[in-house]
Amino acid sequence: MSDSVRIKWFERPSAYEPIWQAMRDFTEQRGPETADEIWLVEHTPVYTQGQAGKPEHLLNPGGIPVVQTDRGGQITYHGPGQLMVYCLFDLRRVGLYVKEYVRLLEEAVIACLTHFGVEGACCKPGAPGVYVPQGVASQELAKISALGIKIRNGRSYHGLALNIGMDLSPFSGINPCGYEGLQTTDMRSQGVVVPMDEVAQYLYSYLSQAIAQRSQVAAA
């Protein structure tokens, strides 16, 4: 078993469906010794509807395509300026339960945002993802990162989306993640402008180190 997590950057921006198919193919074909991988992607504009998605949460897609996908969760938007971190992990091999894995993804995003100077990043009970205050002293939270995962035979694919510096207006065409009136934001709107490559490298390092540590524990 390899203790290293491989990193793979895709052409930016990339269409959603070929990447989705590649994730499924990788997961179906991998064996017990296949190294885990993290895929870093920036997509062309697309709405993706998760397995729990309801048609009524698609309000006004305009000319943006809608793809019914196999990840968990409801509808969300992907587009330029948003970093996709697709985690192709053998969770069974490293001894991670699904709830632990979701928490790891959230912790990675919170650590990343804190590292780059975004304040107040947190989770909401019962609403996976990462949120930040809408303003100084505000009690209202806006979503900055969404999670959507699929587990097949103990192996994960899909992952997380982090809004870095993007056109947020397409989120108004949906109820993001199935929540009416949910506000969305990005790092730029929070006053933090940072190259996507730097954010990607931080998240890759955090997640790959966490998986390596779990591998060592599982092998002990």
Cα 61 from Cα 59, distance rounded (Å):
6
**Position 37 in a domain:** yes
| DSSP assignment of 78-120 | E-TTEEEEEEE-BHHHHT--HHHHHHHHHHHHHHHHHHHT---
- Give the residue ranges of the annotated binding site: 71-78, 146-148, 159-161
Phi, psi of 190 (to 5 degrees): -90, 10
Domain assignment of residue 169, yes or no:
yes
Percent of the chain with pLDDT over 90: 85
Per-residue pLDDT, 139? 79
Domain count, the chain: 1
What residues have CB less than 8 Å from 54, skipping those under 6 apart? 74, 178
The range of the structural domain enclosing residue 140 comes to 6-219
pTM recorded for the entire structure: 0.95
The catalytic residue among 87, 112, 123, 177 is 177
Q: What is the mean pLDDT of residues 63-74?
A: 95
Share of the chain above pLDDT 70, in %: 97
Question: Mind listing the pLDDT tens digit for each residue in 130-187?
Answer: 999 987 667 789 999 999 999 999 999 999 999 999 999 999 999 988 888 889 999 9
Q: How confident is the prediction for the chain on average, in pLDDT?
A: 94
> Which is more confidently placed, 216 or 130?
130
> Is there a domain that residue 1 lies in?
no
Does residue 154 fall inside a structural domain?
yes
- Verify whether residue 177 is a known catalytic residue: yes
**150 φ, ψ (degrees, to nearest 5):** -135, 135
CB-CB contact of 63 with 98 (8 Å): no
Binding residues for substrate: 71-78, 146-148, 159-161
Domain of 78, CATH number, reads 3.30.930.10
Say which amino acid occupies 168.
L
Q: Are strands 46-49 and 122-124 parallel, antiparallel or unpaired?
A: unpaired
